[in-house]
């Protein structure tokens, strides 16, 4: 497609234009995210919580991610479609990661994968990139490690925290990632990492100094209310609007006023 956004476009945006990334887990959300101008559509494993109703992202499977990446891919032709590798699909090592990342590129329209971790997954990222698979990194608060972290804890705090974060971010870049998500870190730490790296940083709960920003669409649309982190800005309250419409339907069916003549065939 003409003007298709590639990893090259994204790399070249650093220092020139801020990158807007949105998550999408199905056809309509990808369609509207792209129409709204997002350069990257991420099929995040946040799928597990905001769509499938799991408590964490840990239970999400490859089959679930493949299914939803295909659906989102049908709504997105210009934006760069990125598929999140779910927990357990890459941690066993480069070979397992390559097999699963290949499935996204062969069986869905995704042109890139994302995976969580820094120094510990650098070898895996290097293996994928050298095999022709574009990788977006993800450091800081990595939700798949929720049990290891003992909860969703802000990362990169203090001298030691910042050093570890910087090591992770550099490792991801040096391994060949074309961009990196910075999640759940202080704004100042995100600024330092963004200045240090040559590749674009995309922040979530990482303040205003990143090269781009991402939010989980269901969060910004007000479609998920189990937990609303401080960094989430709700641009709409679609959950409430959905309930209002559903309630009206139920009432009209109960009263017998739907369907009326306008919505019936002669
Ligand atoms: O799973 C997801 O949606 C993500 C974003 C929050 C970056 O990883």
Closest-lying ligand 1 atom to the alpha carbon of residue 116 = 8
Active site residues: 183
Looking at the domain assignment, is residue 156 inside a domain?
A: yes
Q: What is the mean pLDDT of the chain?
A: 97
Q: How many residues does the chain have?
A: 266
8 Å CB contact between 124 and 176 = no
Residue 1 has pLDDT above 70, yes or no: no
CA distance 113 to 105: 8
Q: Identify the CATH number of the domain in which residue 101 sits.
A: 3.20.20.60
Nearest CA to ligand 1 atom 8: 44
The pLDDT tens digits of the residues spanning 146-193 come to 999 999 999 999 999 999 999 999 999 999 999 999 999 999 999 999
- Considering the domain architecture, whether residues 170 and 221 belong to the same structural domain is answered as yes
Q: Which domain holds residue 134?
A: 7-235
Average pLDDT of the segment spanning 234-251: 98
- Considering the domain architecture, whether residues 72 and 193 belong to the same structural domain is answered as yes
- What is the tally of structural domains in the chain? 2
Q: What are phi and psi of 112, to 5 degrees?
A: -160, 155
Q: Which of 22, 24, 45 to mutate to test the pocket of ligand 1 (most atoms within 8 A of CB)?
A: 45
CA distance 40 to 69: 13
Average pLDDT of the segment spanning 254-261: 98
CA of 263 to the centre of ligand 1 (A): 41
Looking at the domain assignment, is residue 33 inside a domain?
A: yes
The structure tokens listed for 252 are 């009209």
Q: Is the CB of 218 under 6 A from ligand 1?
A: no
Q: What is the pTM of this model?
A: 0.97
Looking at the domain assignment, is residue 2 inside a domain?
A: no
Nearest CA to ligand 1 atom 2: 44
Q: Is the CB of 116 under 6 A from ligand 1?
A: no
Average pLDDT of the segment spanning 129-149: 98
Nearest CA to ligand 1 atom 6: 216
Looking at the domain assignment, is residue 1 inside a domain?
A: no
Percent of the chain whose predicted confidence (pLDDT) is above 90: 99
- Considering the domain architecture, whether residues 142 and 254 belong to the same structural domain is answered as no
Nearest CA to ligand 1 atom 4: 44
Residue 2 has pLDDT above 70, yes or no: no
- Considering the domain architecture, whether residues 143 and 262 belong to the same structural domain is answered as no
CA of 22 to the centre of ligand 1 (A): 9
The pLDDT tens digits of the residues spanning 68-108 come to 999 999 999 999 999 999 999 999 999 999 999 999 999 99
pLDDT given for residue 3 in this prediction:
87
CA of 131 to the centre of ligand 1 (A): 24
Q: Is the CB of 45 under 6 A from ligand 1?
A: yes
Q: Is the CB of 46 under 6 A from ligand 1?
A: yes
Residues in contact with 174: Cβ distance below 8 Å, sequence separation at least 6, in sequence order? 122
- Considering the domain architecture, whether residues 70 and 135 belong to the same structural domain is answered as yes
Residue 145 burial by Cβ neighbours in a 10 Å radius (0-12, 13-18, 19+): middle
Q: Is the CB of 49 under 6 A from ligand 1?
A: no
Q: Is the CB of 23 under 6 A from ligand 1?
A: yes
8 Å CB contact between 210 and 194 = yes
């Amino acid at each position: 497609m003409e003007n298709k956004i590639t990893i090259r476009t994204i790399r070249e945006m650093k220092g020139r234009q801020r990158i807007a990334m949105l998550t999408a887990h199905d056809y309509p959300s990808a369609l509207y995210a792209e129409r709204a101008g997002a350069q990257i559509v991420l099929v995040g494993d946040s799928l597990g919580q905001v769509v499938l109703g799991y408590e964490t992202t840990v239970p999400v499977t490859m089959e679930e991610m493949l299914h939803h990446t295909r659906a989102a891919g049908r709504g997105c032709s210009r934006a760069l479609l990125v598929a999140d590798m779910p927990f357990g699909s890459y941690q066993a090592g480069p070979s397992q990661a390559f097999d699963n990342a290949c499935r996204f590129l062969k069986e869905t329209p995704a042109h890139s994968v994302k995976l969580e971790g820094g120094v510990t997954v650098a070898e895996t990222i290097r293996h994928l990139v050298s095999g022709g698979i574009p990788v977006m990194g993800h450091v800081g608060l990595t939700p798949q490690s929720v049990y290891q972290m003992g909860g969703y804890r802000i990362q990169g705090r203090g001298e030691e925290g910042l050093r570890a974060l910087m090591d992770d971010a550099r490792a991801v870049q040096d391994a060949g990632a074309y961009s990196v998500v910075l999640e759940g870190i202080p704004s100042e730490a995100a600024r330092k990492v963004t200045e240090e790296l040559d590749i674009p940083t995309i922040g979530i709960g990482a303040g205003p100094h990143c090269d781009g920003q991402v939010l989980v669409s269901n969060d910004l649309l007000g479609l998920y209310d189990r937990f609303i982190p401080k960094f989430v800005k709700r641009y709409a309250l679609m959950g409430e609007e959905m309930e209002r419409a559903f309630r009206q339907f139920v009432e009209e069916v109960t009263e017998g006023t739907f369907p009326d003549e306008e919505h019936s065939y002669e």
